[in-house]
Amino acid sequence: MGFGHFTKQLAKEAIGNQVKDMMETIRPSEPPGQPSPDNVAVTILGQVQAMQNALKEDMELLAVCTIGPESMRVFEIFAPSPKVLVLTGIDADRTVTRVISPAEALQLVCKPQAIPAGGKATRIKFILPKPRPE
């Protein structure tokens, strides 16, 4: 296993562990198999991360959020609470744009796409809330 592959695997596991830790801290106790309406943000984060983690090195995940006439490519997802997601990306005019939305109302279109030869894959960044002192 090459050093680059090893480093990539460590980074993937670190992000995965952060999302898993966040999911465990904000998910209320619930019986297995019964979804809770409070974990919609966690479900969205988990699905997007799973799609991105499944990609090969020459692919990237294109995530697009459309609200009304505005569309933006998502580069960052922040979950400040279990019910709210904040997306940061660029719109059609290449302007940095932020969408703050209840998780239940958010719709993302995600699809894998090949990157051009010699290009570098863009990865969606997941920002997790800092643990609250108890």
- Whether the predicted pLDDT of 98 surpasses 60: yes
Residue 133 lies in a domain: no
| Beta carbons of 132 and 82 less than 8 angstroms apart | no
- Tell me the pLDDT band of 26, cut-offs 50, 70 and 90: very low
Q: Which residues span the domain enclosing 10?
A: 3-27+39-127
Residue 33 lies in a domain: no
pLDDT for residue 31: 46
CB atoms within 10 A of CB 10: 10
Residue 32 lies in a domain: no
- Whether the predicted pLDDT of 71 surpasses 70: yes
- Alpha-carbon dihedral angle through residues 103, 108, 111, 113, given to the nearest 10 degrees: -110
Considering only residues 42 and 25, tell me which one the structure prediction assigns the higher pLDDT: 42
Averaged pLDDT for residues 57-73: 94
Model-level pTM? 0.68
57: enclosing H helix or E strand: none
Residue 34 lies in a domain: no
Considering only residues 6 and 106, tell me which one the structure prediction assigns the higher pLDDT: 106
Torsions phi, psi for 54 (to 5 deg): -80, -10
Structural domains in the chain (count):
1
Tell how strand 70-81 and strand 125-127 pair up. parallel
